[in-house]
Amino acid sequence: MAFASRLLFSVLVSEVAGTFPNDPGYIKYQQHYFQAVQIPGAWELVQQDPNHKVTTIAIIDSGMKSDHPDLKDNAVAGYNVVDNNTDTHDREGHGTKMAGIAGAVINNGIGGAGTALSV
């Protein structure tokens, strides 16, 4: 019973309750790291806040693959400041990975889960 009492106050209670993302990358690779920095607890707080709003975040990196299946539904048009145009195609892959960590669609059954809700 003492363990259950402590668990009720844990920021990881959403994980224990089975509400963690169904994304295979989250289940296989990300779950441990997200728990370590308390991302599930943050998700829980955001979902409970009646005033939370959609947020736009910027990834300043090598670009982003705009048709990536785990990112396209959360992405907005970007800008290439190096070439001074709107071609943001990621030729190196790093920017796409960073965008995924921050804003991959959650609970779509593909890829991983982004750390941010409502982006």
pLDDT value of residue 25: 92
Specify if 119 maps to a domain. no
pLDDT value of residue 84: 96
Specify if 115 maps to a domain. no
What's the whole-model pTM score? Answer: 0.76
Specify if 114 maps to a domain. no
Specify if 94 maps to a domain. yes
Give first-to-last CA distance, the chain, whole Å.
38
Tell me if 20 sits within 8 A of 26, measured CB to CB: yes
pLDDT above 90: residue 16? no
Specify if 116 maps to a domain. no
- Cα-to-chain-centroid distance, residue 45: 15
Specify if 66 maps to a domain. yes
Taking CB atoms within 8 Å and a gap of at least 24, the contacts of 67-71 are: 68/96, 68/99, 68/100, 69/110, 69/111, 70/23, 70/100, 70/104, 70/105, 70/108, 70/110, 70/111, 70/112, 71/96, 71/99, 71/100, 71/103, 71/104, 71/105
Name the average pLDDT for the chain.
84
Lowest-confidence segment of 1-10, 66-75, 82-91, 95-104 by average pLDDT: 1-10
Q: Which domain holds residue 77?
A: 2-103
Residue 102, number of CB atoms within 10 A of its CB: 16
Specify if 112 maps to a domain. no
Count the domains in the chain: 1
Model confidence over 17-64: pLDDT tens digits? 446 789 999 988 898 899 899 998 888 888 888 888 888 999 999 999
Specify if 36 maps to a domain. yes
What span, in angstroms and rounded, lies between the C-alpha atoms of 13 and 58? 30
Evaluated on CA atoms 74, 79, 85, 89, the torsion sign reads negative
